[in-house]
Structure 1
Amino acid sequence: KRWGELTHFVDDGDVPISNNWVENHIRPIALGRSNWLFAGSLRAGKRAAAIMSLLHSARINGHEPYAYLKDVLERLPAHPASRIDELLPHRWSPSA
């Protein structure tokens, strides 16, 4: 019944033969999901999720996560609260 779907990659060169690439990219998320059960408390879990979201967003936007977080944490004390959106990963640019 599924022969057409199974051999679809033969007709379309853009379709990969396997999904190993996707599996390798979602593995850290799947492992983290079970690890975050032991964050200590609900508040700690929410904080960890927020930090992980920022770091993954930085990576998705082409930034090196450590450099992004280091720069944002150094700027944060003197940065005006009204312009905090400038520090989000999709708008961030490294300081000169």
Structure 2
Amino acid sequence: MRPDHVIGDKGYGSKAIRTWLRRRGIRHTIPERADQVRNRARRSSLGGRPPVFNKDVYQHRNVVERFFNRLKQWRGIATRYDKTAQSHKTAAPSHQS
């Protein structure tokens, strides 16, 4: 299944990732890194247009970030203390002589 829209942080703002998404018809909202802005400005008109960025859409990324943060805070998931014989079935190694 292919997503309709990808919202990513600046770590996903490379030209290669944007091109990959565009070729597959996937819209994206990814902010530009400061070095990308400087390089585009340095190249003047050859630098091209800045990518479209919608702040309102980008704010929805916060919901997902908060969800993952809550999962990490849950001790059972963060440290996997729930490894008991009943909840985490493992086969004991067989020692044959």
- TM-score class, shorter-chain normalisation, is under 0.3
Q: Which has the larger radius of gyration?
A: 2
Using the size of structure 2 for normalisation, the TM-score is: 0.26
The structure where helix makes up a greater share of residues is 1
Identify, as 1 or 2, the structure richer in strand: 2
